[in-house]
Amino acid sequence: MILIGGPDCPPCVRWKREYREAWIASPEFRQVIWEEVEAARFREVYRERYWPGALAPVLAQIPRKSGAPRFLIVQAGRIVSNHLGVSKWASTLDDLRKLLG
């Protein structure tokens, strides 16, 4: 799973304040590899330099490279869930639970 955002993104800060702690404490968190892709200015977060190594191919799959926070679920190198905005966090978790069985 990948969180895309930045410290100057008010919705990203809101997600971290409201959901991050519960997410890290969840049983689902322990079943995934969690990555956070951030840039000092969130408008730059879709630039290749912020997507190191194995994450670079994921960046190429994102159809619209704007907006944050964005929640991605990647399975076998392919994006299988792509939700944008704090309001879509619940949808991301639903997708993850379906994938985890």
In sequence order, what are the beta bridge partners of 81?
Answer: 73
Q: What is the pLDDT of residues 66-79, one digit of tens each?
A: 999 999 999 999 99
Beta bridge partner(s), residue 3: 36, 71
Judged on CB neighbours under 10 Å (0-12, 13-18, 19+), 3 is buried
Tell me which DSSP letter residue 97 carries.
H
Q: What is the pLDDT of residues 14-61, one digit of tens each?
A: 999 999 999 999 999 999 999 999 998 988 999 999 998 889 999 999
Sheet holding 2-5, edge to edge: 35-38, 2-5, 70-75, 78-84
What type of residue sits at position 55? L
pTM: 0.94
